[in-house]
Amino acid sequence: MTDNSLEAGTIIAKVQSLYPDAKVEVAGEGCNLELLVISDGFKAMPVMKRQQSLLKLFSDDLTSGRLHALSVRCKTAAEIAASQSQFVQLEI
Average of pLDDT values for 8-27? 95
Contacting residues for 62 by C-beta, under 8 A, at least 6 apart? 55, 68, 70
d(CA 52, CA 91): 42
Q: Is a pLDDT exceeding 60 seen at residue 1? A: no
Q: What is the pLDDT of residue 30?
A: 80
The model's pLDDT over 18-73, given as tens digits with 9 standing for 90+, comes to 999 999 999 988 888 999 999 999 999 999 999 999 999 999 999 998 888 999 99
Contacting residues for 78 by C-beta, under 8 A, at least 6 apart? 40
Q: What is the pLDDT of residue 2?
A: 43
Q: Is a pLDDT exceeding 90 seen at residue 92? A: no
Q: Which CATH architecture describes the domain 8-82?
A: 2-Layer Sandwich (3.30)
Q: Alpha helix locations (H) across the chain?
A: 8-18, 47-57, 59-64, 77-85
Q: What is the pLDDT of residue 84?
A: 77
- pTM, rounded to two decimals: 0.84
d(CA 66, CA 10): 12
